[in-house]
Structure 1
Amino acid sequence: MHVVRPSRGPLVLAILLALLGIGIGGGGAWLIALGGSWFYAGLGIAMLVTAGLLWRRSPAALWVYALATVATLAWAVWEAGLDWWPLAARGDIVFVLGALLLLPWVTRGLGAARGGRFALAGVLLLALVVGGLALSREPHRIDGALPMARGAAGAAPAATGAPPVPEGEWHAYGRTGFGQRYSPLAQITPENVQRLQVAWHFRTGDVRGRPGDPEETTFQVTPLKIGDRLFLCTPHQSVIALDAESGREVWRYEPRIQSALALQHLTCRGLSYHDGPAYGAPSGAPTPPAGAGGGTAERAAATATGSRVQAVEEHRPPALNLPAAAEGARTVAECPRKLFMPTADGRLIALDPETGGVCTGFGENGQINLWANMPHVAPGGYYSTSPVVVTRDLVIIGGTVLDNVSTREPSGVIRAFDVHTGALVWNWDSGNPEQTAPLPPGQTYTPNSPNSWSISSVDEALGMVYVPLGNQPPDQWGGRRSDVVERFSSAVVALDLGTGRVRWVFQTVHHDLWDYDVPAQPSLVDLTVDGRRVPALVQPTKQGELYVLNRETGAPILPVTEVAAPQGAAPGDRTAPTQPVSRLSYEPPLLTGAEMWGATILDQLACRIALRRLRYEGRYTPPSLQGSLIYPGNFGVFNWGGIAVDPERQVAFTTPTYLAFVSRLVPRQDDTTLYVQGGNRPAGSLPALGENFGAPFAVQLHPFTSVLGLPCQEPPWGYVAGADLTTGAIAWRHPNGTTRDASPVPLPFAMGVPNLGGPVMTAGGVAFLSGTIDDYVRAYDVTHGREIWRSRLPAGGQATPMTYLGRDGRQYLVVVAGGHGSLGTRAGDHVIAYALPRGS
């Protein structure tokens, strides 16, 4: 006789549901104990009840699970609305298990289960309908339009005091010293941009991964276009000239870089260009400013007569055995035009743009040793990753010091050198701001003073250079900062070009405990306000503000208000009672448990538990021993890529990014133990980041992610947005980028991903961006923000594109694709030019 054996399907599914019920229910109980949502515990109980009924082969299991599913759907819509990704995280496992319960190999073992099958099927169908509605909506999108040109009052170009840059060229990091990242070229338009094609593709041969490379070895350069050539630098400090129409290499300069450097970053964001003949006759050689106990008549006379030897001898630093720029290289005695290249070992080298030869008439045989008068001399402890500022008479340079390694770092001094001779003209040290005359022999700048690692802007007509500053290490504990250091920390400072003295200062964060350095180049633009022209400065910040200031006075053009900030700093420290907020702000909303996310309900639950265990009271929550959630994190809403500004339309194209970080202070018992690095000690000379030797606390700093490595806060994490600089209104905002290159499975979900690298805008009404963590360069219609073109890149594009006019009359777009070490984007050495087809 044939025996019908009962299906094992219900038993297998019962075990799975029981395990999930224990996990979700147990996690839910923990969350309740922390003061969070009760839902997870209830769902866990429902799963356990369903598992028990399945084990007994009771058809009531389907009814219980149908009720649990409809409750989950209602809860998900209540918390997340019709937003697909948050809904999916809450319901994916629940839906899949419901579908499994309806399979014949399960229902056959449940006997008379028709009613339960219909009930569960109906609930799952309802979930599909709700999911379909959510997929059709874009709740994070703002649609609108930016204004067109403002008319004559706003359209006339601002007087920069520098020679005009030809329309088809790109002479500085932001095209001009104003840092707008705007081109007046209009050949590429929203109507024809889809026809862009690769015109040429150059490989530099420089890829990260060499011995001694820090993790953050990155190809971030924005090339210059001067005449018929492009000029760029690579992460390992090569300088290359290319023919702008063909991409053919014209010359290459390979500086010998000192080895065994304690580098935190290895990059070169760009070169700087000085066109002496375009400026005409010198205005008179600059002399060091008098006063403040520094200069002497002899030193001033030496500079005024162009003597280089005396200046070099007086400020010679301790021996570092730095290489000579001219050794083994082509040399040129005098260079009427110069390219300036800062190096990772603390030098500034001058090159001839025509030949690539070292300009031996500048500085000490072609270079300036930036270790002069520096405290705490240590190879790799001070260098400049960003292009310098050039004016008629000066080359002005800042530099980076190591973050959170020790309290014994070099100075963040800003120095101005004679652009022709290399003689030091003035120095501004934020720890000793009144003494701007060159220091005499034997004196050093203030150790650990706030530094400027980013790019400065300059208005020669107004006679000011605008310097974005960071704070004094350590970043997350400020109990020993002096009043003078506090005044300039995390601020934009306007310095007088003639003397180096402070003209005005605007602080973007008070008593910064979050590594909210001012990260981006200020953009200078003239705005039409109440019918009159106002010289403005637009300063993006890591915390999401765009401050719009009068660049003559530093006074806000768009209102800035002080708002109460969370209190309660670590022992020995304090917090500022208020923080400034601009009318034009990309501040993210407060994170709550409802904003936690994950690939499944399990890691979403884990993120909710993690959030409850951290200290979090909104933006500016102080770092703590408990561990604080810092949102936005020090990656920044904006970083070194900055924004693009259209001076005709007086609008900004921006790329806000939102990632939360965790900051945990670790008490130090001595000055040698590696509390953060532990057994993962850095190789070779690389620095022990986060240790803060000399401070009472080390710091553990990491992204706020789930066990799967995904951000704990729900997407989108990155946008493009257009803002009106005269009103502070954000006209449109769209999630930007996909997960194609940021997930184990290369699925191009359009979730809105982080960006690192700046945009460029053109008079044709098109903006370009390549910095998203998927490997694409994209074009956007500036007016409405719509993506109108994209092209696949062979590596990460974490750099700022630029555009120029070739000899053939075509407008070219150049994109650098080399990847970013700490972001983990694909490494490469690519320089790619796009153009419209010939004859179009």
Structure 2
Amino acid sequence: MIAVASGAVIGLLGLALAGGGVWLVALGGSWYYALAGVGLLTTGGLLIARRSRALWVYAAVVAGTLAWALWEVGFDWWQLAPRGAVVVLVGLWLLLPWVTRALVRDGTGRPPAAWRGAGIPLALSVVAAAGVAVAALALDPLDRDGRLPVRTAAAPAPQGNQPAGDWRAYGRTEFGDRYSPLDQITPRNVGRLEAVWTYHTGDVRRPDDPKETTYEVTPLKIRDTLYLCTPHNQVIALNAETGEERWRFDPKVPDETNRQHLTCRGLSYHEAPAAAGQEAGPSGAACPHRLFMPTADARLIALDADTGHPCAGFGDHGTVNLWRNMPHHKDGFYYSTSPPAVTGRLVIVGGAVNDNVSTMEPSGVIRAYDVITGALVWNWDSGKPDQTAPIGPDQTYTTNSPNSWTTFSVDEALGMVYVPIGNQPPDQWGGNRSPETERVSSSVVALDLTTGKMRWVFQTVHHDLWDMDVPAQPSLLDLKTDQGTVPTLVAPTKQGDIYVLDRRTGKPILPVKEEPAPQGAAAGDTAAPTQPTSALTFKPPRPLEGRDMWGATLFDQLACRIEFRRLRYEGRYTPPSTQGTLVYPGNFGVFNWGGVAVDPVRQIVFATPAYLPFVSKLIPRENATTNYVSNGKPGLNENYGAPFAVDLHPFVSPLGLPCTAPPWGYVAGADLTTGTVAWQHRNGTVRDLAPVPLPFRMGVPDLGGPIVTAGGVAFLSGTLDYYVRAYDVTTGAQLWESRLPAGGQATPMTYLAPSGRQMLLVVAGGHGSTGTKAGDAVVAYALPPG
């Protein structure tokens, strides 16, 4: 009975595999699944008839599967495992005595022995498969080993006029390099780091919060105080030594169901010159040290960093209304999630709009306010790029213009602010974009600090149809080249290119070439004939193929292969379509708002590339009101007023796993002077992503960002498992990790405590979009005393 029951089960597996395999063949895919399905069906039938030939047939299935798997993916264990696991387990089952005893040898009527006759080839094929699996476990063909230069002898010193032990801006300085000159923590001693205090903000998720409620904040450290903001825009000051709360400010941001995001990535700081007089607050105290925070209800608030009270002379009792002069005022549709840029006399702010709701969105204008009074100094509106003087009270900015939702960088010596620009909604259809929009979408724009006029623009995607905003703060450094030291800007992008530009002119330092791009955009639209690619790139090394599809088993892998063949895909920049287009890299990005970390002394970059494809399917709209892809407010991706809504989702299997094979996330190091990637290693485990907490190091995406230190150690907390980790910057080797109480999707920072100890600070509050555990923890680490 066991043989008969086994035959029935194997026959059903074969039927599913053969049916899906025939479908895949009809779509032009691999023949393996159909042939393997026939093999399982034949095996099942022979088992039901109690014929020993079943073992011979199944031996051929195992051997054929092994040969096919090695031909497709080599010794990549995480690719071999789903191809062979079910097949080998069934083979082991068939070798068990209670199965083989029930079988009859043809022509004899006698049962075979498991390890003789028909059992021998099956046993040998199973052993061969096991041997390949063991060998693959010892190899990682996707890892790249190497070393970054320890120090460039003639490299310029790191810039910035703040104390070495402070972290006074989101990227530590307005240069945004995320580099600390502290060196107490080194590769030799980092393994001794321990948590010294934990603080809980008390700001937790509320029932009416949007899905994308996130802790993405990088705290500031100024003198002896830490400053951070929470998703609901509460500002908290902590003792930098002990984590004890000093003050708290709550702007009372009202709940709003229209909001897509509830995020505060950080605060900005301004310190007046000692001799400068400041306006008096309500208590008569000066406000020479001030913090700036944009809120989820579109206010820009200035706070006294010493007391937490609003700076009364800034705007209207400490507040500037960012809705002023905005078209299409609708609560929840415009706000700023990133800290503004601050100079000696300006605070410069952008903003985000809800993704692809309509063609009548607020403007993406960039505005500069007087850092003391809050008076508008200039406004750069991409719809009217040459008219930067403050507009009148009855005027409005350009509707639906490209916005900048991420963080800016500033070079006051050159007199420029560097603004990463996004796209004009709708992201996936661009038939009605203006020439002004086409010029600046998905680009880095350099604006004059005095006038707001555009000094230069560098576009990273032409006629963007994939939501490939420039997502991260550019990093500034002075790079040593064959032509001498050049003021440089490093811009990571969603599509994987890292552009290294002369920040005076926007001209590439590392080569950029135009490559042919797929054509055939949706009705009423066009696709750019070429797209730029940097010499320093983390783009996928080749277009996806069927062999890149993945799953926990043969069966969900087969489902992914079928879906892959049904989608339109011609490589990077395949236009969105009504058929459904595979977008790879997806709009999650190879890099996102966490950006990269740059060591200006060693002239290197520490990066965390991620690889997750998305599906973009255009849905023809019959009117401007019906919801096609969303339920209720705010109508994300509906594109009211455009010809198409867009169904946008990750490319995953029926089990919810990525359809593409791991690794999905790496750490990597590159030399900025040559544009070469020195090393790249898979990073992070699926412990907190899998149904059971198995710490398989498959390589998971990071959503946060790294920092680097003069001690030669990099830190990262944003992977989708709940750890903060330390790495050797030279080789990329992981040196230390510590479990976090929640998702750490924020960029960590490091500072010098009043006691003289170098501290590592990590915020662990989770991220709604990635589904990581929510929390409200701020954790400080340090080396043990002595």
Offset at residue 98 of structure 1 (A):
0.5
Offset at residue 68 of structure 1 (A):
1.0
2:715–2:727 Cα contact (<8 Å) kept: yes
- Look up the match of 1:777: 724
1:331–1:357 Cα contact (<8 Å) kept: no
- Look up the match of 1:687: 634
- Look up the match of 2:107: none
> How far apart, in 2, do the equivalents of 1:332 and 1:695 lie?
54
Indicate the SS of the match to 2:119: helix
Q: Any idea what the Cα deviations from partners look like across 1:93-125, whole Å, max 9, x if unmatched? A: 101110110111211100333311121111101
* Residue in structure 2 matching 1:643, options 576, 593, 596: 596
Q: Which amino acid counterpart does residue 3 of structure 2 have in structure 1?
A: P
Normalised by the length of structure 1, the TM-score is 0.91
Normalised by the length of structure 2, the TM-score is 0.97
| Corresponding position: 1:438 with 2:435 | no
Q: Which amino acid counterpart does residue 157 of structure 1 have in structure 2?
A: P
1:332–1:358 Cα contact (<8 Å) kept: no
- Look up the match of 1:597: 550
| Corresponding position: 1:128 with 2:130 | yes
| Corresponding position: 1:707 with 2:707 | no
Offset at residue 687 of structure 1 (A):
1.4
- Look up the match of 1:399: 351
Indicate the SS of the match to 1:123: helix
- Look up the match of 1:236: 232
* Residue in structure 1 matching 2:222, options 219, 226, 250: 226
Q: Any idea what the Cα deviations from partners look like across 1:312-333, whole Å, max 9, x if unmatched? A: xxxxxxxxxxxxxx9xxx8666
> How far apart, in 1, do the equivalents of 2:448 and 2:725 lie?
39
Indicate the SS of the match to 1:629: strand
Residue pairs, 1:281-680, within 5 angstroms: 281=276, 334-530=286-482, 532-588=484-540, 589-677=542-630
* Residue in structure 2 matching 1:190, options 179, 187, 193: 187
> How far apart, in 1, do the equivalents of 2:283 and 2:362 lie?
32
- The count of residues paired between Structure 1 and Structure 2 equals 776
2:402–2:423 Cα contact (<8 Å) kept: yes
Indicate the SS of the match to 1:359: coil
> How far apart, in 1, do the equivalents of 2:47 and 2:16 lie?
18
2:257–2:634 Cα contact (<8 Å) kept: no
| Corresponding position: 1:101 with 2:94 | yes
Q: Any idea what the Cα deviations from partners look like across 1:585-634, whole Å, max 9, x if unmatched? A: 00112110000000000011110000000000000000000000000000
Q: Which amino acid counterpart does residue 745 of structure 1 have in structure 2?
A: V
1:414–1:427 Cα contact (<8 Å) kept: yes
> How far apart, in 1, do the equivalents of 2:207 and 2:84 lie?
47
Offset at residue 336 of structure 1 (A):
1.3
> How far apart, in 2, do the equivalents of 1:63 and 1:131 lie?
22
| Corresponding position: 1:815 with 2:762 | yes
- Look up the match of 1:756: 703
Indicate the SS of the match to 2:129: helix
| Corresponding position: 1:174 with 2:167 | no
Indicate the SS of the match to 1:100: helix
Offset at residue 782 of structure 1 (A):
0.2
Q: Any idea what the Cα deviations from partners look like across 1:781-815, whole Å, max 9, x if unmatched? A: 00000000000000000000000001111000000
* Residue in structure 2 matching 1:245, options 241, 251, 258: 241
> How far apart, in 2, do the equivalents of 1:655 and 1:674 lie?
37
Q: Which amino acid counterpart does residue 87 of structure 1 have in structure 2?
A: L
1:171–1:226 Cα contact (<8 Å) kept: yes
Offset at residue 211 of structure 1 (A):
3.1
Offset at residue 155 of structure 1 (A):
3.0
> How far apart, in 2, do the equivalents of 1:769 and 1:200 lie?
19
Offset at residue 258 of structure 1 (A):
3.0
Indicate the SS of the match to 2:143: coil
- Provide the identity percentage: 66
> How far apart, in 1, do the equivalents of 2:71 and 2:261 lie?
45
* Residue in structure 2 matching 1:9, options 2, 21, 26: 2
Q: CA RMSD in A?
A: 1.4
Offset at residue 532 of structure 1 (A):
1.2
Q: Which amino acid counterpart does residue 122 of structure 2 have in structure 1?
A: L
Q: Any idea what the Cα deviations from partners look like across 1:733-757, whole Å, max 9, x if unmatched? A: 0000000000111101000011100
1:261–1:379 Cα contact (<8 Å) kept: no
Q: Any idea what the Cα deviations from partners look like across 1:646-700, whole Å, max 9, x if unmatched? A: 00000000000000000000000011111002xxx24xxx511111111110000
* Residue in structure 1 matching 2:62, options 66, 69, 94: 69
Offset at residue 442 of structure 1 (A):
1.4
Residue pairs, 1:787-826, within 5 angstroms: 787-826=734-773
1:89–1:600 Cα contact (<8 Å) kept: yes
Indicate the SS of the match to 2:56: helix
1:333–1:361 Cα contact (<8 Å) kept: no
> How far apart, in 1, do the equivalents of 2:263 and 2:157 lie?
36
Q: Which amino acid counterpart does residue 33 of structure 1 have in structure 2?
A: A
* Residue in structure 2 matching 1:258, options 254, 268, 282: 254
Q: Which runs of 5+ in 2 are unaligned?
A: 105-110
Offset at residue 582 of structure 1 (A):
0.1
> How far apart, in 2, do the equivalents of 1:497 and 1:332 lie?
32
2:209–2:255 Cα contact (<8 Å) kept: no
> How far apart, in 2, do the equivalents of 1:468 and 1:458 lie?
12
> How far apart, in 1, do the equivalents of 2:241 and 2:567 lie?
55
> How far apart, in 2, do the equivalents of 1:726 and 1:437 lie?
39
> How far apart, in 2, do the equivalents of 1:653 and 1:342 lie?
29
Pick which of 656-665 and 140-149 moved more. Answer: 140-149
Q: Which amino acid counterpart does residue 762 of structure 1 have in structure 2?
A: T
Q: Which amino acid counterpart does residue 532 of structure 1 have in structure 2?
A: G
Indicate the SS of the match to 1:358: coil
1:770–1:777 Cα contact (<8 Å) kept: yes
Pick which of 242-251 and 525-534 moved more. Answer: 525-534
* Residue in structure 1 matching 2:16, options 19, 23, 26: 23
Offset at residue 260 of structure 1 (A):
2.7
Q: Which amino acid counterpart does residue 385 of structure 2 have in structure 1?
A: P
* Residue in structure 2 matching 1:212, options 208, 215, 238: 208
Q: Any idea what the Cα deviations from partners look like across 1:333-369, whole Å, max 9, x if unmatched? A: 6411210011000000000011111111111111000
Offset at residue 277 of structure 1 (A):
2.1
> How far apart, in 1, do the equivalents of 2:344 and 2:449 lie?
10
* Residue in structure 1 matching 2:84, options 75, 83, 91: 91
Offset at residue 261 of structure 1 (A):
4.9
> How far apart, in 2, do the equivalents of 1:702 and 1:108 lie?
51
Q: Which runs of 5+ in 1 are unaligned?
A: 1-7, 286-305, 309-325
1:331–1:359 Cα contact (<8 Å) kept: no
Q: Which amino acid counterpart does residue 471 of structure 2 have in structure 1?
A: P
Q: Any idea what the Cα deviations from partners look like across 1:159-202, whole Å, max 9, x if unmatched? A: x6xxx110000000000000000000000000000110111100
Q: Any idea what the Cα deviations from partners look like across 1:534-582, whole Å, max 9, x if unmatched? A: 0000000000000000000000000000000000000001100000000
Residue pairs, 1:113-124, within 5 angstroms: 113=112, 114-124=116-126
> How far apart, in 2, do the equivalents of 1:345 and 1:390 lie?
21
Pick which of 353-362 and 776-785 moved more. Answer: 353-362
* Residue in structure 2 matching 1:725, options 656, 672, 676: 672
Q: Which amino acid counterpart does residue 139 of structure 2 have in structure 1?
A: R
> How far apart, in 2, do the equivalents of 1:795 and 1:261 lie?
25
> How far apart, in 2, do the equivalents of 1:172 and 1:125 lie?
58
- Look up the match of 1:301: none
> How far apart, in 1, do the equivalents of 2:724 and 2:260 lie?
27
1:431–1:485 Cα contact (<8 Å) kept: yes
Indicate the SS of the match to 1:832: strand
